[in-house]
Amino acid sequence: MRAFMLVACLLFASVVAQAQERILSYDSQVQVLADGGLDVTERITVRAEGNQIRRGIYRDFPTRYRDRQGNRVVVGLEVVGVMRDGRPEPFFTENKANGVRINTGNDDFLPTPADFTFTLHYRTTRQLGFFADHDELYWNAIGLGWDFPIERGSVEVVLPQAVPADRIRIEGYTGADGAKGDAYDAKVTGPGTARWLLTRPLAPGEGLTIVMGFPKGLVAEPSRGERWLWLLKDNRGILLALAGLAVLLVFCLRRWHRLGRDPKPGVIITRYEPPSGYSPAALRYMQRMGYDTRCFSSDLLSLAVSGNVRIHREKSFLSDDWELERTSSASQPQNGEQSTLLAKLFAAGADRLELKNTNATIVAAAQAAHAAALDKRLKPAYFNRNGGSIMIAFLIALAGIIVSLALSGGGGIPFILLIAV
């Protein structure tokens, strides 16, 4: 009975293992080109069960990172072709947060369960490091973004020229991000050729990084001018945002110098009476540079003081009733805004106005006319909000943000938004 149970458990474990989606082998061939580029062919054999691998696989390729000096670097990537089991396979790419995703397949489902070999052929640039005494390939050959275990893996790198083995330095790392594992075997297999072989399977999220140092002169080193052009290109979004910010600051300073500079303060003299010719509403309007209900109520009380209006209050149990009455004995107001307010409150020859909800439209129209009269008299004679300049500044900022985001290539967006804010 125990033997039967043991055999059953082993058979169950074998079935589960066979049903697990995984990468059976991951073999990469890297050709280092004389111009500094890499020509890469990856052969990835997977076991598909129709769970996660349904239409094909995807390969995430980081294209944005920071170099040893902290500068932003954007590498080039060109997908030459994709094959499945030796036949051309449709594919498409999509931009991700820090790079590009290569998607294989189309809307058709794969005939699962089955084993498939996907071949990804692509070229990439700016992957080499150039130092004083040597050049170096530091390459994340098997990326960390795989959700499946990888049973076997190998990487072969071929230099553009034959180099003796004693002039080639090779090492590598395995494991998760930041790990320094040594589950690999590396050796120089020929003049200018080296090979790395995994010595144990990789768990999901683990990868293989290779390092290959070789003599200078095999690969064309970029000039100082090329490096500066790369630096400007890689950070063009941030540079455009900064340029937009500089244009905005120059515009604002010039407009402030021309329109917004306050006059030099003179001698301040205390006055205990309001200046003649100005209504209470006009003084408040100038102070606030805008209209509010206190402008309305202050001029209404001023009209009552001058005898143009009487304000009647009738007390009741729940609330008081208010009524305005226009008098005919007083002279006309001296200020145009008060005349406008008086005319709108008592339109069509009326001499009484009850302050209740049914007359809210009349009161609102009188306030609007009152505000318009104040605006016409005091702007721009005494102040100007410079709405046109503010709109131009807003359009400059908006154009700078749009251009920066459109030409950034997806890089530096947080910094662009930070500059915009």
- Confidence (pLDDT) at 133: 92
Upstream peptide bond of 275 is cis (omega within 30 degrees of 0): no
Residue 138: predicted pLDDT: 94
The token pair that represents 263 in the structure block = 């006059």
* C-alpha–C-alpha distance, residues 371 and 392, integer Å: 26
Q: Give the bridge partners for 116, in sequence order.
A: 46
Question: What is the pLDDT, as a whole number, of residue 203?
Answer: 96
Return the structure tokens found at 364: 């609102």
Q: Are strands 321-326 and 309-314 parallel, antiparallel or unpaired?
A: antiparallel
Q: What is the pLDDT of residue 14?
A: 43
How many CA atoms, within 13 angstroms, populate the side-chain half-sphere of residue 49? 12
User: According to the model, what pLDDT value does residue 409 have?
Assistant: 62
Beta-ladder partners of 40: 30, 122
- How many angstroms separate the CA atoms of 416 and 279, rounded? 49
Quote the distance between the C-alpha of residue 65 and its chain's center: 17
Residues of the chain with pLDDT under 50: 1, 4-18
290 token code pair: 């805008």
CA 398, CA 244: separation in Å to the nearest integer? 9
What tokens were used for 361? 């439209």
